[in-house]
Amino acid sequence: LRVLMDTLVKLATIISPLVSAGVAIWAILVAKTTISESKEIAKKTIADTAYQAYLQLAMEYPQFSKGYSADCRQERDPMYDQYVWYVARMIFCFEKIIEVEVNLKDSSWANTLEKHLKFHSEHFKKTSVVEEALYIPPILDLIKCAAK
């Protein structure tokens, strides 16, 4: 009986560190997965918040939400000046979405942003935002597609 007990103690001494190591590895994997999922949730929240800010902007200025053409009868159209700032704020919101959506791997974001940019294609055609590279490359690519 004593030999059996000694054998069990030796076996437990060998197995215990292995079990502890297995539990530690499992805990690290769970923590890593949880952190990764938390980052994804945070990114989605940032993108959703930025899009919500854009929608709020569109509701505040519905006259600009589908584009705006300057009044040719006036030498300077103050509404067009306001529209230019609307577009700048819109693009700022879109840049926030793109920054967290890493090259727009979710095509629904790319499609949504391009659709809204198309409303402003006339504005983009007469400005030099693409040539001057005033925005991040993914936005410029979407503007190019929208201005076609």
pLDDT confidence band for 118 (50 / 70 / 90): very high
How many Å apart are CA 94 and CA 143, to the nearest integer?
11
| Predicted local confidence at residue 106, as pLDDT | 67
DSSP string covering 80-126: HHHHHHHHHHHHHHHHHHHHHSTTT-SHHHHHHHHHHHHTTHHHHHT
List pLDDT tens digits, range 1-33: 788 888 988 998 999 999 999 999 999 999 999
pLDDT confidence band for 104 (50 / 70 / 90): low
| Predicted local confidence at residue 33, as pLDDT | 92
Residue 46 has pLDDT above 70, yes or no: yes
List pLDDT tens digits, range 56-94: 999 999 999 999 988 777 788 889 999 999 999 999 999
| Predicted local confidence at residue 110, as pLDDT | 84
User: In b/e form, how buried is each residue of 29-57, taking b as 16+ CB within 10 angstroms?
Assistant: eeeeeeeeeeeeeeeeeebeebbeebeeb
Residue 102 has pLDDT above 80, yes or no: no
pLDDT confidence band for 100 (50 / 70 / 90): confident
Model pTM score: 0.75
Residue 103 has pLDDT above 80, yes or no: no
Q: What is the average pLDDT score of the chain?
A: 89
Judge contact between 142 and 113, C-beta under 8 A: yes
Residue type, 63: Q
